[in-house]
Structure formats: C-alpha cells, structure tokens
Amino acid sequence: MSENIKHECAVAFLRLRKSREYFASKYSTPDYALEKMTILLEKQHNRGQDGAGIAALHLAPEPGSAAYNIEKSAAGNPLNDLLKKVSFHKAEFQGELLLGHLRYATFGRNDIHCCYPFVHENSCLERVLLLAGNFNLTDNRKLLENLVNSGHHPAYSSDGYLLLQTIAHYLEREVNIHGDSPDYAKILRKALDELDGAFTLCGITGNGDAFAIRDPHGIRPGYYYMDEEVIAVASERSAIQAAFNCSSAEVHELPPGKALIISKSGNVEFADCLTPRERRSCVFERIYFSRANDGDIHRERRKLGAALVPAVLEAVKNDFRNTFFSYIPNSAQVAFHGLLSELCCIAAKQNQTLRFGQIAVKDAKFRTFITDPAHRKSIYQHVYDVTYGLVHPGSDNLVVLDDSIVRGNTMRNAILPMLDRLDPARIIVASSAPPVKYPDCYGIDMATAGELIAFQALISCLKKRSQTNLLDQAYRAAKQELASGKCRINCMKILYDAVPNEELCREVARLLKPEGLKAELKVVYQNCENLQKCLPDHTGDWYFTGNYPTAGGIKVANQALVDFVEHVNKRAY
C-alpha cells in the first residue's frame, strides 16, 4: 500500500491469574502486567496514530481508594507519550486486570476525549464498566434511539460512547447488588445481537469481571491466549506471541459471536451469545493491515504474489531479459517474495536470468509541512529515494508490486514520477489485491465512492461508452432502496456489471498516469478467483465484489452512490 488508509484500531486485554506477589517474586518486578501490556500495544503500534489509553483495575480495592486508574494520550506520538505518563506513576498501574487501546480515527475529533478505554461510572463497582475495542457500526442512530426510548439522555452520538452506554444499561438492569455474578452472555446478547457492523470488544467491570466478544461474522480480528498465569486478548496473534513467547498453536481466534467471560474469581467460560452468522473475516485485514510476522498471514501474502505471475508475464510479454522486478515498500515485500519465488522457477526452466531488487526506498526522515498544493506535489516526488543503475534506460520493463491501489494519489503524484526518473520503457504496476471498487463501513476507511480510483475509472468508461444513463438508473434504484429502509440490493453493481474488468483496468492506468510521464503505463490486478484460493478462510471481500455481509454495508454503498451523483449534479449547476 503506497498510501495510508485508516481506520483500524487495536485492543489489548490482560488478566493475571496469580497474585501480584507471585509475579513480583517469580519475575523480579512488580510491573509484570504493565510490561506485557506495553509489548501488546507496541507490537500493534501501526494501528494507533491518533490516540492511546491504558486502564488498570485492582481486585478488592480498599474503600476510599480508586478501583482503577486510567491514562490516555492524543499527542503527536500518542503511545510513546502514554507510556511516558504511565512510567511516572507505575504503582497505580500494578493491577490484576489491564485494558489497552490504540486509536486510528476515521471520523470524529482527534482529542483525548475520544480515546479509549471509555468508562461508565457508578459508585457500585459491579455497575462500573470500562470498554475498549476495534469496531465500526452502521446503525448509530438506532443505538441512540434505543437509549433515548429507555429513558437515557446520551451526551454524544459516537459509536463508542453509545456502545458503552448500551452495555452499561443492560448491565445495571442485571446486576444483583447482593453479590451474585450477572449473566454477561445475556447482557451482551441484549446489547449487541441486533447491531449492524463489525467489532472486537473487551470490557471490565469495577468488581473485576471481564469479557471479550467478536462480531458474529468475524469481520474484525481477535485472538486470545491462556495459561496458568495469564489470560490475554489482542487484535493480532503475533503481538500475543511476542509478549508471552508462545507458539502460533497456543494463540486462538476469538470465536465469532461467542463471549469469553472471566469472572472476578478467575473462572473462564465461552458462552453462546450472538446469533450465528456466515463467517466473513475481512480480507483486506490479511492483505495489508495485520503484520506479516504472523505465519498464516505471511503464507497468504506470498500466495497472493505468486498468483500474479501469469498476468505479470503477459504484461511484459514473457521478456525476462528486458524486465526488472521490484516492489513498493514496505507492506508489499512479503507478496513480492511469493512473486519472486514463482518467477525464479519459471526463469530456471526457460534458462532465463531474473533481474530484481529494491528500487524504491521511502525516506523516513523526509518531512514536509508545505501547505501550497503546487509545491507539495513537487515535494511528493522526493518522499521516495530510487536505486539508480539497475534499470536499463529506454528498454526495460519495470514491474513494481504494490499490495493494493485505493485512491491512487500517492501512486500518481509520488511513485510514478519517481520511477520515471529511471527512464524505463514501460512501468507495470501489479496489485496483489483486486480493484477496490466499493467503500467500506466495518472499520478500514476506503474513502467515499468518488475518491476510489476504480470508481473514477468506472464513471469515465461509462461516459466513453455513452452509457451515463446507467448512472441515473442506478442512482434512482439506490434512492428507492434507501427509502424502503431494507437495503438488499447493492445498486453500484449495476454500473460495474456494464464494464468489463480489462477495460476498467486500462482506464485506471490512464487516470493514474501523471502529466509528463515518459514511460508507457500498465496496471495489473489480482482477480477475485485467485484471491479466494489464496485466502480460503477469509471471505470478507466486499471491497472488491460489493458482497457486504450485512444490510448496513449495502446501505452504505447505496448512500455513497447517491452522494456521488447528487454532489456531481450540484457542482454541474
């Protein structure tokens, strides 16, 4: 991915199963839990750019003292700032339960009030709730209305706040103040079963009960680890492995729709909670966002690279002699290894020499705060350094592998002009993902329809075909779907079905080509059939197919189409 996308938060939860004295004695530190939480957050740092928070809860606190302590940051480097703050008063974070969060905001304010964990206060510890998660919902209005109808006056309308208050509402109704543990599966079922969206949530009550739960489609990732000393939950498996030096087999996926419930006494159970749904784990999560030091993700990305070989060789007309293969750092590197491995086998069979290397290096020290767009565009071209002397000027095909192309702005304004300085005859951009055609609403921000380069190419193709009447037809159908309140048909598909994929890809290349580019430009995409073969256990491919797992997703797509048409019409007048 040569451009930033967002939003993909991370959550981390830790429960000590032994006394704090046990850990202080065995590991010679009273800060064992905090050290492990630090690792869990640091190893998911790519998911947190806007905010970070840690809460520590103490079992059986003395009356008159705080049951929990919490610290948050929305500084420029929020995790570093957070850990620095916590280090000044470590004793307050020597609790038996810790809850951490990294925030990567799509919408809303980037300030400390938006940072998790969120807290629902109450003087009765059983009714205190701390909540953090990786989630995005499509039906905030429904949550808001439900709270109002139950007698509440919500102060905010963000999904995190509404989720917190909804769970707290059912918690307070179920809590038995005489000491019996409430039925958390029942509470979560009432609060979450009708939600439309994706989530992995972790919660702690003031008395030390805790839970973790994942949406019934399994869209957002979630993993857990248990041994005789700890229970841990995180958004990424490799983060848990790093923290506890355990194998992949010891870290398990949170079962979609089931609740992991940990009582204040330390008992653990998995409870059936949410209505079972078709499993639709997010594909883009695997292609790009999760770190590839997870063994399964590493193998999947290599397969994606290898699957591109036939299309890439067709684009260069099987000319190994005059082709140099590379990738755009850094997330595409593992897929490039898969591409390279397959190419090596073919080159060996054909007695050909394979030329490859790292052609583009992002200058991590390069910073610019220029606000003038014209000057910023010229500066973009120097964000990347190039390796000179590897590409033969005037004759070589230069193949660069990227993991996906979403908006195309960085590709057009920075990558391609930089590559053109090497004077290749042709530049072939190969994407390990299919064209990103549809917006997302479950966590990763894939922009509005009009910002997607594939959608821009679609509209351009329809104009060239004199089929803009289809846009009006799809717009009217989308308006009807939205008015019905039961979105079942993704009307954007009407448009994509009218344009062959090869034609769409050619138009993407034309739109990506910056003014003055000397090299011929081609774009090669992964197809959806290969995607399914490479990631058979992860079918959440709505970005590419428009097959959303929930009605809320279809609604978002239809609304995106309506917004695009109405905005275009408004500009026309």
Mean pLDDT of the region 516-529: 97
**Type and span of the H or E element at 198:** strand 197-205
pLDDT on residue 5: 47
Characterise 408 by phi-psi region: left (phi > 0), alpha (psi -120 to 50), beta (else). left
Mean pLDDT of the region 267-292: 90
Neighbour count for residue 40 (Cβ, 10 Å)? 27
pLDDT on residue 369: 42
| Whole-Å CA distances, 100 to 9, 38, 244 | 11, 9, 16
pLDDT on residue 380: 56
CB 131 within 8 A of CB 163: yes
* Predicted model pTM: 0.90
Summarised one tens digit per residue, pLDDT across range 8-26 is: 789 999 999 999 999 999 9
Please give the residue that has the higher pLDDT: either 217 or 568.
217
**Type and span of the H or E element at 70:** strand 68-73
**Type and span of the H or E element at 38:** helix 32-42
Summarised one tens digit per residue, pLDDT across range 47-63 is: 877 899 999 999 989 88
pLDDT on residue 50: 86
pLDDT on residue 297: 92
Please give the residue that has the higher pLDDT: either 293 or 419.
419
| Whole-Å CA distances, 104 to 77, 166, 222 | 12, 23, 17
Answer yes or no: is pLDDT of 514 > 60: yes
Percent residues over pLDDT 90 in the chain: 77
Summarised one tens digit per residue, pLDDT across range 357-388 is: 999 877 655 544 444 445 455 555 566 788 99
Percent residues over pLDDT 70 in the chain: 91
DSSP designation for 540 = B
Structure tokens at 298: 């590493």
Answer yes or no: is pLDDT of 148 > 80: yes
Summarised one tens digit per residue, pLDDT across range 68-111 is: 999 999 998 999 999 999 999 899 999 999 999 998 765 445 67
CA-CA distance, 189 to 171, in Å (whole number)?
A: 11
| Whole-Å CA distances, 506 to 413, 438, 441, 471, 503 | 19, 18, 28, 20, 5
Query: Which of 16, 33, 56, 44 is closest to 227 using CA atoms?
Result: 16
CA-CA distance, 394 to 378, in Å (whole number)?
A: 24
CB 46 within 8 A of CB 134: no
Point out the least confidently predicted range of 37-46, 172-181, 272-281, 455-464. Answer: 172-181
Point out the least confidently predicted range of 56-60, 286-290, 309-313, 529-533. Answer: 286-290
Summarised one tens digit per residue, pLDDT across range 315-340 is: 999 999 999 999 986 889 999 999 99
Averaged pLDDT of the chain: 90
pLDDT on residue 113: 84
pLDDT on residue 323: 98
pLDDT band, residue 571 (cuts 50/70/90): very low
pLDDT on residue 140: 86
CB 289 within 8 A of CB 221: no
pLDDT on residue 485: 85
ω before 413 within 30° of 0 (cis)? no
Structure tokens at 52: 């970070």
Mean pLDDT of the region 387-401: 96
Point out the least confidently predicted range of 168-172, 192-196, 483-487. Answer: 483-487
Q: What are phi and psi of 459, to 5 degrees?
A: -60, -40
pLDDT on residue 288: 77
Beta strands 68-73; 129-137: pairing state: unpaired
Mean pLDDT of the region 510-532: 96
Q: Output helix, strand, coil percentages for the chain, rounded to the nearest 5.
A: 40, 20, 40
Please give the residue that has the higher pLDDT: either 46 or 542.
542
Neighbour count for residue 269 (Cβ, 10 Å)? 12
CB 306 within 8 A of CB 341: yes
